Amino acid sequence: MVITHNLGYPRIGSHRELKKANESYWAGKITHAQWLETGQRIRRGNWLTQQQAGISLIPCNDFSFYDQTLDWSLTVNAIPERFRLLAEKPDTNETDLYFAMARGFQKDGLDLIAMEMTKWFDANYHYIVPEFSRDQAFSLRSEKVFTEFDEAKTVLGTVPKPVLLGPVTYLLLGKEKESGFHRLDLLDRLLPVYEQVLNRLQTQGVEWIQFDEPGLVLNSDEQQRAAYATAYRFLRDRFPKLKFLLASYFECFGENLTLATQLPVDALHIDLVRCPSQLDDILKTAFIDSKTALSLGVVDGRNIWINNLNRSLELIQKATDALGRDRVLVAPSCSLLHAPVDLDSETEVSGLTPEIKQWLAFAKQKLAEVVKLATIAAQPDSEQAKSWLAENEAVLTARRQSTLINRPDVQARVNQLTDSDTHRQAAFENRQPLQHERLQLPLFPTTTIGSFPQTDAVRVNRAKFKKGEKTLAQYEDFIRQETEKAIRWQEEIGLDVLVHGEFERNDMVEYFGELLDGFAFSQNGWVQSYGSRCVKPPIIYGDVYRPEAMTVRWTEYAQSLTKKPVKGMLTGPVTILQWSFVRDDQPRRDTCTQIALAIRDEVVDLEQAGIQVIQIDEPAIREGLPLRRENWETYLEWAVKAFRVSASGVRNETQIHTHMCYSEFNDIIQQIADMDADVITIETSRSQMELLDAFVQFNYPNEIGPGVYDIHSPRVPTKAEMVALLNKAADVLPVRNLWVNPDCGLKTRRWPETEQALKNMVQAAQTARSLV
């Protein structure tokens, strides 16, 4: 029988136990021992779940209290200089240090900035970025991998497979903190630590070791390719008997294919969900005559749909035909970290209906699918195999034909889209004077990005309404009061374009998902986003349709309170797509176009209701970029088009804004310009307007609001610093195109600092005007 294995299991617990334990520990509500115990309980539960599912090779060291990359930085003692002082204090324990690196530290006269966090490849998971210096040294520091190996071995009674972040990907994920070297130059210093780790594990009785090297799917140069070859040659020579499994996922190997198939390892894991053609490609190489086994990632670790068993079996069959059964392993496509934990905890019908539920598999269910596949592959003619296949086929057919999924009117509308649907009536240079004429705004007009503080009162009211402790009328009354207060206050401090405050929204994607057909919501489908933060992405299961207006009522109400223009607030199609689990039975672009049409209808309805300025937020456009460059163009083309579909149904006088958070715009500035929003607001204050350079060099023609203060911190910016930033912007961009606004929405802030900061901002705009 082919061997089954798993690359990693979610560590948040089926009811977010990890998050709760971390937060309680930080708040001093549980002891260090209780906190450690929660980790142990989660690990133990995970191992037993995998064993009971019948997985043969079970991972360990995939657990982390915060982030596995941070764990690895501690393991190899890559502690940034600024944390040394803390690390060396006698009363600092490893846990204090760990969380200081993850979250920053302000105590005992120390003020240490947290390490940076960034997206893990194209997933919604964020890791802590390793920091390297020119004279970076590495040494073995943490015992984590050894302790967890022993722990797993005891719990399981078999030998587990430790997961190590591979040396090359680890270095690539990091950042040089000074100039004069490349982080890959550090490989020679890093490898001896891996040698030490393997030595210890060998003494503990390890057999298989999984090296995660997803860096192999990225575009690479000579130096990178040489680094992989050096690293695995080094380790192979020193450990001829250990079994190395090299895991790569999320994409095709591209130009790294030959390299990947020739590395001296015992098994190579490939992601056949993201890159099904890879199997044929590999079987055409000399790999076929080697002794290396192939691990087939056939169960999607990034999405929530049940597996198409027949399709997976075809791949398995092809591999076993070519390589023989003992050279094939079956696994999920990547670590199950990116999937929600357990569909069995979805019990309330108000969430996922039984019809939708049978189409889904979360992490635990995916383990069962892996085992089923291996079992069927071993005995395809058995009664068991036949019944599993028949059952799977029946569900898949029912899903394909379900009336829940198919809306012929929506499909027809997508097919009938014409070029004119993706263009505003006139070009920007002709729209701009019409909009200026109508809106009569001063130079340096001031506005905000949409949300105002979501206070405890707002949250409590919503929770009570959801629990049935408040009626809809009571809840809406409360929201109206908050909105009115916000409008009055914005008028008072003299903002120019007002917002209603988004008090009625829980989340910028969930709010729209709940009002659109084709979306479903789980009760417990949480996925780790970073550290203690989890998200519960909506599930897009069917054709997207807007049964009725979603925001018009609230925006119209806010506008009725004031003569100043109130900006309508919408989330854009790409962001809604990007932050949801997306159906796998049609291309992402088609789903995105359907969402775009729904948003377009909303934009038109807002205009009809008298709203003159409408913002379509697209913070996720940049993060949707495919991992490999050669796929960028196609993505950007449909993503930009979707935005344009959503924005182009209105008259020239209606001003369309868009907003994007911290993004590098350099390599996508042409496409940002192609979106043709009348105004774009971007996050720039943390980089001291550096992010504006791309717009300046490109001669970006439309209006732009570079954020003048960082909303991620409670710190109140002074008027002077904002004036300085505005002057900096005015030096390089036409003044008539400039807006004044914060970096992002204010929902995570409290009122006191928000009030002061926005007052200062309005004054800064006044000063900037007087200087023109």
Give the residue numbers marked as catalytic: 712
Q: Does residue 449 belong to the site contacting ligand GLN (CB under 6 A)? A: yes
C-alpha to C-alpha distance for 717 and 742, rounded to whole angstroms: 10
Per DSSP, the residues of 128-185 read EPPEE-TT--------HHHHHHHHHHHHHSS--EEEEE-HHHHHHHSEESSSS--GGG
Residue whose CB is less far from Zn ion, 565 or 742: 742
Letters for 617-636 (x = contact with Zn ion by CB under 5 A, - = none) are --x-----------------
Q: Which is nearer to ligand GLN, 449 or 691 (CB)?
A: 449
Q: Which is nearer to ligand GLN, 501 or 531 (CB)?
A: 501
Applying CB under 6 A, which of residues 122, 307, 745, 761 lies at the interface with ligand GLN?
745
Residues 710-749 that bind Zn ion (CB under 5 A): 744
| Shortest distance in whole angstroms from residue 657 CB to Zn ion | 12
Please say which residue, 273 or 621, places its beta carbon nearer to Zn ion. 621
Contacts of 121 (CB under 8 A, 6+ apart): 214, 217, 250, 627
Question: Reduced to 3 states, what is the DSSP secondary structure of residue 519?
Answer: strand
The H or E element spanning position 321 is helix 309-323
Rounded to an integer, what distance in angstroms lies between the CA atom of residue 752 and that of residue 734? 34
**Residue partners of 687: CB distance under 8 A and separation at least 6:** none
Would you count residue 595 as binding ligand GLN (CB under 6 A)? no
677 binds ligand GLN (CB under 6 A): no
Relative to beta strand 117-119, strand 126-128 is: antiparallel
CB of 619 to Zn ion, least distance (A): 5
In whole angstroms, how close is the CB of 543 to Zn ion at the nearest point? 29
482 binds ligand GLN (CB under 6 A): no
Q: How far is CA 7 from CA 54, 115, 268, 480, 662, in A?
A: 14, 26, 12, 49, 31
Q: What track of x and - describes contact with ligand GLN for positions 605 through 634 (by CB under 6 A)?
A: ------------x-x---------------
- Taking CB under 6 A as the rule, does residue 451 contact ligand GLN? yes
> How many residues sit in the footprint of Zn ion (CB under 5 A)?
3
Residue 482 interacts, among Zn ion, ligand GLN, none and using kind-specific CB cut-offs from 5 to 8 Å, with: none
Fill in the DSSP letter of residue 57. B
Return the one option of ligand GLN, Zn ion, none that residue 642 interacts with (CB less than 5 to 8 A, by type).
none
Q: Which is nearer to Zn ion, 338 or 622 (CB)?
A: 622
Tokens 């904002």 map to which residue? 722
Contact in structure between 642 and 593 (CB atoms under 8 Å): yes
How far is it, in rounded angstroms, from Cα 434 to Cα 436?
A: 6
Contact present, 707 and 685 (Cβ < 8 Å): yes
Smallest distance from the beta carbon of 632 to Zn ion, in angstroms? 22
Using CB under 5 A as the binding rule, whether residue 661 contacts Zn ion is answered as yes
Query: What is residue 244's three-state secondary structure?
Result: strand
The rounded distance, in Å, linking the Cα atoms of 601 and 333 is 38
Residue 215 partner contact from ligand GLN, Zn ion, none using kind-dependent CB cut-offs of 5 to 8 Å? none
Cα 611–Cα 616–Cα 617 angle in degrees, nearest 5: 140
The residues, ordered by sequence, that sit 6+ positions from 576 with a Cβ below 8 Å of its Cβ are 509, 512, 513, 595, 599
Instruction: Using CB positions, name the residue nearest to ligand GLN.
Output: 745
747 binds ligand GLN (CB under 6 A): yes
450 binds, among ligand GLN, Zn ion, none (CB under 5 to 8 A by kind): ligand GLN
Asked if residue 260 lies in contact with residue 233, where contact means CB atoms within 8 angstroms, the answer is no
Contacting ligand GLN within 508-567 (CB under 6 A):
508
**CB of residue 681 vs Zn ion: minimum separation in angstroms?**
8
Dihedral angle at the C-alpha atoms of 465, 467, 471, 475, nearest 10 degrees? -10
Q: Compare residues 11 and 747 and give the one whose CB is closer to ligand GLN.
A: 747
Q: Which helix (H) or strand (E) holds 705?
A: strand 703-706
**Segment lying near ligand GLN (by CB under 6 A), choices 235-243, 458-466, 635-643, 743-751:** 743-751
Residue with tokens 């989660």: 42
Q: What, of Zn ion, ligand GLN, none, does residue 565 touch, CB below 5 to 8 Å by kind?
A: none
Residue type, 565: P
Quick check: 591 and 583 in contact, CB under 8 A?
yes
Nearest to 305 by CA among 366, 242, 227: 366
Name the one range near ligand GLN by CB under 6 A: 403-411, 445-453, 626-634, 700-708.
Answer: 445-453
220 in Cβ contact with 247 (< 8 Å):
no
Place of tokens 């309404």: 465
Euclidean distance between the first and the last CA atom of the chain, given in angstroms as a whole number: 77
Considering only residues 300 to 339 of the shown chain, the ones binding ligand GLN according to CB under 6 A are none
- Give the nearest distance from C-beta 301 to ligand GLN in angstroms: 26
Rounded least distance, CB 711 to Zn ion, Å: 8
Whole-number minimum distance, CB 428 to ligand GLN, in Å?
Answer: 23
Question: Rounded distance, CA 191 to CA 236, Å?
Answer: 12
Q: Is 744 a binder of ligand GLN (CB under 6 A)?
A: yes
DSSP string of 555-592, one letter each residue:
HHHHHHT-SSPEEEEEE-HHHHHHTSBPPSSS-HHHHH
453 touching ligand GLN, by CB under 6 A: no
Binding partner at 747 among Zn ion, ligand GLN, none, C-beta below 5 to 8 Å by kind: ligand GLN
- The residue from 661, 689, 704, 761 that contacts ligand GLN (CB under 6 A) is 661
319, interface contact from Zn ion, ligand GLN, none, CB < 5-8 Å by kind: none
Residue 272's binding partner among ligand GLN, Zn ion, none (Cβ under 5 to 8 angstroms by kind) is none
Partner from Zn ion, ligand GLN, none binding residue 451, C-beta < 5-8 Å depending on class: ligand GLN
Q: Which is nearer to ligand GLN, 744 or 764 (CB)?
A: 744
Which residue stretch of 172-180, 356-364, 399-407, 611-619 sits at the interface with Zn ion (rule: CB under 5 A)?
Answer: 611-619
Binding site for Zn ion (CB under 5 A): 619, 661, 744
Binding site for ligand GLN (CB under 6 A): 449-451, 502, 508, 569, 617, 619, 659, 661, 744-745, 747
